[in-house]
Amino acid sequence: MNTTPLYRQLANHYLDAIRSGTLKTGERFPSIRLMMEKHAVSLSTAVQVCRELEDYGVLEARPRSGNYIRQPDTPAKPTASSLPPPLDTGAYVGIHEQVSAVLKASQRATVKVNFASAYCAPQLYPIKALQDNMIKALRQDQHLFETTGTTAGNIALRNVLARRALTSKTHVSAERIVITNGATEAINLALRAVTSPGDTVAVESPTFYGLLQILESLNLRVLEIPASSHSGINLPALQQVLLGPERIKALIVIPNLHNPLGSIMPDANKARLVQLCAEHDTVLIEDDTYGDLVDSEQPLSTLKHWDRSDNLIYCASLNKTLAPGMRLGWISAGKWHDRVEMLKHTQSRGCEALTQLAVSAFMGTPSYERYLRRLRNTLAQQRLQMSIGILRNFPPGTRVSTPEGGTLLWVELPREHSSMALFQAALNVGIQISPGGIFSNDKRFDHFVRIGCGAPYSPKIDEALQTLGRLLSL
Ligand SMILES: Cc1ncc(COP(=O)(O)O)c(C=O)c1O
């Protein structure tokens, strides 16, 4: 009996056809519907076949016209997730318990090396400049702690953010920005503004576990759409879902430096995604937590840049790029602005003023750009060293993503390994990792691990990778 899953058998069948030249580069790949008919398989299996081929680098989704055969990448550019997500509709996320257990176990442990963090090492942040700005702000306004600011936040900071957004061709007016307690509060506000408990919200699969927790805490149902490390969310699969019977109230997407995949959506896909959501009246929630950490000197476009409907909610964070301890983020909610501002007022009032003043003074100067440039170069070096360290120490067959920026690597272990077992064994010896299973409500990412490389590579880190390698060989 053939124990290979059906989608794998079909993917292998198409791989053979591509290798033998029966299917040629540039040719249109059979549509999902055609595959369902031809092979008598379910929608989910057909989508899984495409996903598998995308991850092999032989298929690319082109906006509006479907999937096409492409030249595979060289082996030096490994793919990330190779397993497909479910297309089960209607399930509550249900991951909260598992995520909480992982986070609690980590907090109780004595952690010597933390690979689970998405932050940069403390010394990489411009803390001295921010401290100086704080002292200056306190000197200039000695009544700062006696007064409360507006719900929307400090206008000087909102002006700086609006001006900076222009560099990524994102037009937002300072009057329509609300400063938040990180992207977490921004996304909570966005979801509360546009959904009611029981509604269905689509997300990429895998996705940042914090988003799954937020959805569950708001009693929303989740639908996972395949995403690849090449081009992010799979648009044909999304379109299929949007055309289906389930009403998708909102979709949360991380288009630039996806967590955990590291993917960056091509511009054409961004434009098509925005259009698709507008056509189906699905609110698009853009999570741009990592955009400023993209390697490229030219800032990437945001989804917001392509939006003409005003039905897109843009959420961003300064916690990974500037100062994790300040907990600052922001939201520009388009036509939902008034509702978001009202919800922010009822939920927590405006954010405190001192950090906002210090940040706006720093971000408004050329020092910020110079700092970001340095940070990106440093992170690129750290990612490279960490990837080499992982591939040297982990079992043969391990694949590591190659994101073009940021602090995160998505590592695929050979299938027989359980990242949850590795998580527990590693924690016992003081090493913390993020097990892949918490990035989806399904079990398909159980042999993946997310490794943070925000800290400079060091003998201590190298030793920790050797220990992980040893644990994987037991
Ligand atoms: C993709 C993504 N969105 C949102 C957040 C939450 O960001 P914040 O710390 O600004 O609340 C994170 C944090 O890791 C993240 O990775």
Instruction: Select from 347, 368, 389 the last residue of a domain.
Output: 368
Instruction: Please tell me whether residues 288 and 178 are part of one structural domain.
Output: yes
The predicted-structure confidence for 132-146, as pLDDT tens digits, reads as follows: 999 999 999 988 888
Tokens representing 40 are 């008598």
Calculate how far, in angstroms, residue 184's C-alpha sits from the geometric centre of ligand 1.
Answer: 6
- Residue 24 corresponds to which amino acid? K
Among 151, 136, 126, residue whose Cα is nearest residue 352: 151
Helix axis angle for 43-55 and 32-39, nearest 10°, is 120
**Residue 310 belongs to a domain with what CATH number?**
3.40.640.10
What pLDDT was estimated at residue 90? Answer: 46
Report how far ligand 1's centroid is from the alpha carbon of 464 (Å). Answer: 26
CA-closest candidate to residue 392, choices 379, 374, 411, 406: 411
Residues 54, 114, single domain; the answer is no
- Indicate whether 391 and 466 sit together in one domain: yes
The pLDDT value recorded for residue 46 is: 81
Pocket test of ligand 1: the residue of 303, 317, 321 to mutate, having most ligand atoms within 8 Å of its CB, is 317
Q: Point out the ligand 1 atom lying closest to the alpha carbon of residue 317.
A: 10
Residues of the chain scoring pLDDT < 70: 1-4, 63, 72-94
Residue 74 lies in a domain: no
Q: Pick from 125, 112, 158: which is nearest to 337 by CA?
A: 158
Report CA(160)–ligand 1 centroid distance (Å): 21
Among 205, 289, 321, 450, the mutation site with the greatest number of ligand 1 atoms within 8 A of its Cβ is 289
Cα(34) to ligand 1 centroid in Å equals: 39
Predicted model pTM: 0.83
Interval between CA 434 and ligand 1 midpoint (Å):
15
Domain boundary among 368, 395, 429: 368
Q: Find, among 263, 224, 254, the residue nearest to 48 by Cα.
A: 224
Q: Structural domain tally of the chain?
A: 3
Residue 457 lies in a domain: yes
CA-CA distance, 6 to 51, in Å (whole number)? 13
Q: Tell me what pLDDT residue 297 has.
A: 82
Please give all residues whose beta carbon lies within 6 A of any atom in ligand 1, as ranges.
118, 182-184, 208, 210, 254, 259, 287, 289, 317, 319, 329
Q: Is residue 88 part of a domain?
A: no
Within a domain: 86: no
- Shared domain for 255 and 390, answered yes or no, is no
> What's residue 25's pLDDT?
85
Ligand 1, residue 254: give the atom nearest the CA: 1
- Going from the Cα of 347 to the center of ligand 1, the distance in angstroms, rounded, reads 19
**Whether residues 107 and 168 fall in one domain:** no
155 shares a domain with 11: no
Best residue among 181, 191, 252, 319 to mutate for probing ligand 1's pocket (most ligand atoms within 8 Å of CB) is 319
What pLDDT score was predicted for residue 165?
95
Q: Can you give the pLDDT at residue 175?
A: 97
The per-residue pLDDT for 84 is: 39
Please tell me whether residues 18 and 61 are part of one structural domain.
yes
Q: Do 334 and 190 share a structural domain?
A: yes
Are residues 280 and 212 both part of a single domain?
yes
Same domain, 166 and 197: yes
Q: Whose CA is nearest to atom 4 of ligand 1?
A: 183
Final residue belonging to a domain, choices 320, 345, 368: 368
Helix (H, G, I), strand (E, B) or coil at 467: helix
- Whether the CB-CB separation of 362 and 133 falls below 8 Å is answered with yes
Claim to verify: residue 40 and residue 134 sit in the same structural domain: no
CA of 403 to the centre of ligand 1 (A): 17
274 located within any domain: yes
Query: Among the atoms of ligand 1, which is closest to the Cα of residue 207?
Result: 1
Is 77 domain-assigned?
A: no
424: in domain: yes
Q: How far is the CA of 287 from the centre of ligand 1 (A)?
A: 8
Rounded distance from Cα 289 to ligand 1 centre (Å): 6
Residue 83 pLDDT: 34
Atom of ligand 1 lying closest to residue 329 CA: 10
Q: What is the CATH number of the domain that holds 469?
A: 3.90.1150.10
- Residues across the chain: 474
Cβ within 8 Å of residue 128, ≥6 positions away: none
176 belongs to a structural domain: yes
399 and 258 housed in the same domain: no
Domain that holds residue 61: 6-69
